[in-house]
Amino acid sequence: MKKLLITGASGFLGWHICQLAKPEWEVHGTYFTNSLEIPGIKTLKVNLTDFQELKQIFNDIKPAAVIHTAALSQPNFCQNHPQESSAINVTASCNIAGLCADYAIPCAFTSTDLVFDGLNAPYKETDSVSPLSIYGEQKVQAETGMLERYPHTAICRMPLMFGMATPTAKSFIQPFIETLQAGKELSLFIDEFRTPVSGKTAARGLLLALEKVQGLIHLGGKERISRYDFMRQLVEVFKIPNAQLKGCRQEDIKMAAPRPKDVSLNSYKALTLGYQPLSIKEELAALYPFK
C-alpha cells in the first residue's frame, strides 16, 4: 500500500481524513500536543517547526503523498501570538511543500475561507485575497510560499467544519449543544455567513484534491448560512427540547481577531471534479444522534 503522511492527525479534520484514507493507504499521522492512537493508523509525535525532525520523517516514512492539516487555527490565539503561530502556520507549511517538491509527490494543504475580507462573497478561487486577521494573513503567506516552493500543491480553502467529536478534538457544535442541553441561552451571530461542511465531507474533498488538483480549490458547502440559522436547523434535527437561541451581531462580542461578515465560498470548481457536499440538514441527519 502507498504511504500517506497526514499532519495534525489529532485535530478534528486530520482525524476524519485518517479514518477515510486507511482503506486505500498506509496512513502515518503526526501529532504534537495531543497524543492519540487510531486503530489501523501509525501515529507519531513530530515537532513540525523543527526542520531537521521534519526532514527525518520524510526520510524514514518516504510518503507517496502528504496532506498538511496541522496548524494553530484559532484566530484569536494567532492575533495574540503571531510569532508562535507563524512558525507552524507559515514556516512549517512552506518547508513541507519544499520536501514534497524534493520527493515529487502530491501535497494538499488546508487553508481557510478567512483569507477574504467578507465584502464580496461568494468567493471564487480567482478572487483576490485580503484577510482581516493575522491568522488569515498567515494562511495567505503559506499559500503563496507553498506554491512558490511547489506549484503542484493543492491549496484547499476550507470552510467552517462541524461533526461528532473525535477522541482529541471537538468541532464548534459540541459546546453549543452542551449549553442548550444545560437549559442555558445561546447567543449566536445572525450577521456572519459561512458555507459549512461536515468533517467527513471536508476529508473526502481533501482526498479528491490530493488526486486531482494543483493550485487553489474551494471546498465549501452547499449553503450560505449564519451560525444562528445553522443551530436552528441542528436543534430541529437533533430534537433538542426547549432550546433557547438568541441572535446577536458581531459588534456585540469583543474578540481579539477581526471577523469578516461573509466568507461564503463558491465551490463550483470542486463540484465539477466530483466533490459532493450534502445539504446542512442531510449532513446533520447523518450525525444524529452522535453528538
Dump pLDDT digits (tens) for 119-133: 999 999 999 999 999
Domains of the chain: 3-161+196-218 (3.40.50.720), 165-195+223-263+279-287 (3.90.25.10)
Helix residue spans in 104-172 (DSSP H): 134-149
**pLDDT exceeds 90 at position 34:** no
Q: What angle do CA 42, 48, 50 make, to 5 degrees?
A: 125
Q: Give the start-end residues of each E strand in 143-207.
A: 154-158, 161-162, 185-189, 193-194, 197-198
CB atoms within 10 A of CB 221: 26
Residue 290, pLDDT score: 60
Q: What is the mean pLDDT of residues 228-239?
A: 96
**pLDDT exceeds 70 at position 41:** yes
Closest C-alpha among 12, 262, 270 to residue 154 = 270
**pLDDT exceeds 90 at position 24:** yes
**pLDDT exceeds 60 at position 248:** yes
Q: Which three cell numbers stand for residue 252?
A: 456585540
249-268 pLDDT, tens digit per residue, is: 999 999 999 999 999 999 99
User: Confidence class of residue 288 from pLDDT cuts 50, 70 and 90?
Assistant: confident
User: Confidence class of residue 230 from pLDDT cuts 50, 70 and 90?
Assistant: very high
Please state, rounded to an integer, the average pLDDT across all residues of the chain: 96
Give the pTM: 0.96
Residue 274, pLDDT score: 98
User: Confidence class of residue 98 from pLDDT cuts 50, 70 and 90?
Assistant: very high
39 preceded by a cis bond (ω within 30 of 0)? no
Residue 259, pLDDT score: 94
Q: Which residues contact 96 (CB under 8 A, 6 or more apart)?
A: 7, 48, 54, 66, 68, 107, 109, 146
**pLDDT exceeds 60 at position 7:** yes
Q: Which three cell numbers stand for residue 35?
A: 497524543
